[in-house]
Structure 1
Amino acid sequence: MNPSVSFTAGGNILIVGGGLVGASLAIALDAAGCQVTLVEAAAPRADAQPSYDERNLALARATVNGLGAIGVWPLVAAQATPIRHIHVSRAGEFGSARLDAARHGVDALGWTLPARELGAGLLKRLNDCERLVRLAPASLVGLEKHPGGWRAQIKTADGIQFVDAALLVGADGTESFVRAQLGIEADTHDYQQTLFVCTITPERDPAGRAWERFSDEGPIAMLPLSERRCGLVLTVPSDIAADVAALDDADFIALAQQRFGWRLGRLNRPGRRHPYAIRRVAARKLIASRAVLVGNAAQTVHPIGAQGFNLGLRDALTLAEMVADAADPGSAALLVCYAERRAPDREGTMAMSHDLVRFACMAQPLLSPFRSLALLAYDRVPPLQRALARRGMGFRGEPPRAVLERLP
């Protein structure tokens, strides 16, 4: 007989997906005293050696507060770089918007952090969890509904195991198997854009400044990193992505320089480029009977403004907060309340990223004065400036208490 993990259906939670959002949710639920099983596709490992080319994350202030609340931020803070200023503009147009941390009474609007470092911090916290059961490497291969919840069939290195859960959480990414098994449809929009991400070293120190610059070809962003480096995020039309990928370093950096300008002087030393096709995937609903979607399984947004993980963590921390206060984590009433509570943040963030790409990158000269005036209004009108800063820092709708209670 194959080994199995079987719990009574009283309050057990099964999380499918051990990425950044799934791991954060598991930690938060364990701290709240919940019985949780986490299914991770890859075996746990921590890369010990840093790399010039590693992927970097832009973490909103609310995200850092939330990571602090679950005990992860103290493990990674030394490797993070504060973002104290943000400059938003469009090529060839006169308007710009600037956000300054000091103007809003905070020490930083957000932080950049190597994804490897956050992963290692989450892994260390997972190892300290007392109630958590981790299956890794493992994959969900089947689901059976019963009145008290779900029986999940999990393929592991030791064979098939079965997990009974009162609540099933799909945190398994854009191509979510859980979402498909639940029969939840998703709307997809192909932006016909490809993102190139790499690390560069500019002539001038970014000194805590981040830039987002729009053009007809798409946005380009520059994020401050440690050791005077920057994380470059360059968007190009997908029909020329193969040509851009084939450029040598000199030609690639010339393209980035032409798109970004000379605010940091000459750009140098481009690292290995990582291309990503960009599309928006939004689940038509977040919940099903005793099941819920979080993170990219619920919504994958355009990377403009770096909202993906930030939005997903707010999903996770809101769910953990509500489950911790509930007798039955999978009750229909709880899940309906969760979906309603997340709606303003989720829908507002998705609309912002989608509309901003369409409005700011549309090759339409008649829009030019309106775009410039809009940026100037966000820069000069205090209520608009405060709203922009608050949303940029991740405080939208009814945030989870964890992001409000702790400061980094």
Structure 2
Amino acid sequence: MNVPESPVMSESGVLIVGGGLVGASLAIALDAAGIKATLVETAAPRTDAQPSYDERNLALARATVNGLEAIGVWRHAAARATPIRHIHVSRAGEFGSARIDADRQGVDALGWTLPARELGTALLRRLDECARLTRLAPATLSALQPLASGWRAQVQTADGARNLDTPLLVGADGTSSFVRAQLGIDAERHDYGQTLFVCTVTPERDHANRAYERFADDGPVALLPLAERRCGLVLTVSADEAEAVAALDDAGFIELAQRRFGWRLGRLGRPGRRHPYAIHRVAAAQLTAPRAVLVGNAAQTVHPIGAQGFNLGLRDALTLAELVAAAPDPGAADLLERYAARRAPDRDGTMAMSHGLVRLACLPQPLLAPLRSLALLACDRLPPLQRALARRGMGFRGEPPLAVLEHLP
């Protein structure tokens, strides 16, 4: 194919398609590193318009908060975040449990809980401070054409169509990625047959900055500490039950949540508005194509168990920004090879962990019960194993981006 010549650095700089949590974070990281970029967002630049800035309560790993602080986002969000100082993991009807405490790990917090909408607000404020970033919003990528040294993207804006040449195309456009499809990258999909309901509740007892993850045959349920003694509830039900659960009144929903979670925090009450999310696993067959790369949910969408989705995606973004900042050509083949190699241990390990936990911890197999309990007890009682688990949970896996290594435990 004969393709037109294009300079290595074009007018648009690095082109990021997708302005959700990960795409916005990448744009900010590149700007902080002095790299010119263009961010194409389908939604208007408002918190209430961006689908990913929603009602979920995010459990941000310690590495994630280090990274957000390094790129200047955390100062806009810290006041609304709640520290997680303890984690309690158990399985309904079984004797084992695992507890991880920040003090024992030598840190002030294992992570922080923050509503996605609040993180979105912080990202928008930080985006407004960017000096080298061009934002097109609302705008939609409609076509891609390969160039000798990059891509030509046709973008539909309110002012009409624009052609943007870029040496590096970044797909940050979510699970159903248009960029991934246009690049011809296949994706493995798995439907868990589960629906997640998220809302806030107020427990009878103070949560004491403790996060709970409880497994059962029906799926995991979690409580995350929030301000004013409230908690973020994450309740998993089978997809067949989702419609009936959505139709429950507040009393019926709380009764279900209480039965699934138990009474460790006493009676649950005052449920907030409920939001359902169907759960799927999507894994791109590869992370890169010539002068193109996938990050965040476009690269991998994981089961929300363990709350690793955004944490993993941010490490994608910060690793890519670090490599681009150190290279003369942001789309060079060797740079993209290094990116894929660096992300592989973290990506593969996190995806295997989340998928394996769902399959093993939630399987209704009585013969597995003693093995699961013994595994939880080992995590609770053996310091080396607990430390390894805590470090991975805090986001320090593989070769993390330098931005997250501040205050490494």
TM-score, normalisation: structure 2: 0.95
SS at match of 1:405: coil
1:161 and 2:148 are equivalent in the alignment: no
SS at match of 2:334: helix
**Partners of 2:407 and 2:304 in 1: how far apart?**
26
Partner of 1:9: 8
SS at match of 2:235: strand
The aligned runs of 1:226-375 (5 Å cut-off) are: 226-375=227-376
Cα RMSD for the two superposed structures: 1.5
Residues 212 and 224 of structure 2 are in contact (CA less than 8 Å); yes or no, is this contact kept in structure 1?
Answer: yes
Partner of 2:171: 170
SS at match of 1:227: helix
Partner of 2:378: 377
Residues 169 and 292 of structure 1 are in contact (CA less than 8 Å); yes or no, is this contact kept in structure 2?
Answer: yes
Partner of 2:142: 141
SS at match of 1:204: coil
Structure 1 pair 63–186 and aligned structure 2 pair: CA distance change class (3 A): same
Partner of 2:387: 386
1:131 and 2:128 are equivalent in the alignment: no
**Partners of 2:280 and 2:127 in 1: how far apart?**
31
1:230-249 deviation per Cα after TM superposition (whole angstroms, max 9, x unaligned): 00000011111111111111
Q: Tell me by how many angstroms 1:70 deviates.
A: 0.1
One-letter amino acid matched to 2:334: A
**Partners of 1:219 and 1:318 in 2: how far apart?**
31
Q: Tell me by how many angstroms 1:406 deviates.
A: 5.9
Partner of 1:401: 402
Residues 7 and 149 of structure 2 are in contact (CA less than 8 Å); yes or no, is this contact kept in structure 1?
Answer: no
User: Which 5+ residue runs of structure 1 have no aligned equivalent?
Assistant: 1-6, 48-52
* Percent of residue pairs bearing the same amino acid type: 77
One-letter amino acid matched to 1:239: D
The aligned runs of 1:7-86 (5 Å cut-off) are: 8-10=7-9, 12-46=13-47, 54-86=55-87
**Partners of 2:30 and 2:21 in 1: how far apart?**
14
Residues 68 and 407 of structure 1 are in contact (CA less than 8 Å); yes or no, is this contact kept in structure 2?
Answer: no
SS at match of 1:134: strand
1:137-193 deviation per Cα after TM superposition (whole angstroms, max 9, x unaligned): 001000000111000000000000111000000000000000000000000011111
Return structure 1 stretches of 4+ with deviation > 6 angstroms: none
Residues 65 and 407 of structure 1 are in contact (CA less than 8 Å); yes or no, is this contact kept in structure 2?
Answer: no
Residues 151 and 164 of structure 1 are in contact (CA less than 8 Å); yes or no, is this contact kept in structure 2?
Answer: yes
Structure 1 pair 174–189 and aligned structure 2 pair: CA distance change class (3 A): same
**Partners of 1:375 and 1:214 in 2: how far apart?**
12
**Partners of 1:406 and 1:138 in 2: how far apart?**
39
Partner of 2:51: none
Q: Tell me by how many angstroms 1:31 deviates.
A: 1.1
Q: Tell me by how many angstroms 1:9 deviates.
A: 3.1
Residues 9 and 148 of structure 1 are in contact (CA less than 8 Å); yes or no, is this contact kept in structure 2?
Answer: yes
SS at match of 1:342: helix
One-letter amino acid matched to 1:208: N
SS at match of 2:243: helix
1:301-353 deviation per Cα after TM superposition (whole angstroms, max 9, x unaligned): 00001100000000000000000000100001100110011000000000000
Tell which deviates more after alignment, 123-132 or 316-325: 123-132
SS at match of 2:316: helix
1:196 and 2:197 are equivalent in the alignment: yes
Q: Tell me by how many angstroms 1:54 deviates.
A: 3.6
SS at match of 1:378: helix
TM-score, normalisation: structure 1: 0.96
1:215-265 deviation per Cα after TM superposition (whole angstroms, max 9, x unaligned): 000000000000000000000111111111111111110010001111111
Tell which deviates more after alignment, 62-71 or 241-250: 241-250
**Partners of 1:76 and 1:277 in 2: how far apart?**
28
One-letter amino acid matched to 2:133: L
1:346-379 deviation per Cα after TM superposition (whole angstroms, max 9, x unaligned): 0000000000000000010000010000000111
Q: Tell me by how many angstroms 1:55 deviates.
A: 2.7
Residues 15 and 38 of structure 1 are in contact (CA less than 8 Å); yes or no, is this contact kept in structure 2?
Answer: yes
Residues 174 and 300 of structure 1 are in contact (CA less than 8 Å); yes or no, is this contact kept in structure 2?
Answer: yes
Residues 55 and 275 of structure 2 are in contact (CA less than 8 Å); yes or no, is this contact kept in structure 1?
Answer: no
User: Which 5+ residue runs of structure 2 have no aligned equivalent?
Assistant: 1-5, 49-53
**Partners of 1:300 and 1:46 in 2: how far apart?**
22
One-letter amino acid matched to 1:66: G
SS at match of 2:14: strand
**Partners of 1:272 and 1:31 in 2: how far apart?**
37
Q: Tell me by how many angstroms 1:405 deviates.
A: 2.8
Residues 68 and 406 of structure 1 are in contact (CA less than 8 Å); yes or no, is this contact kept in structure 2?
Answer: no
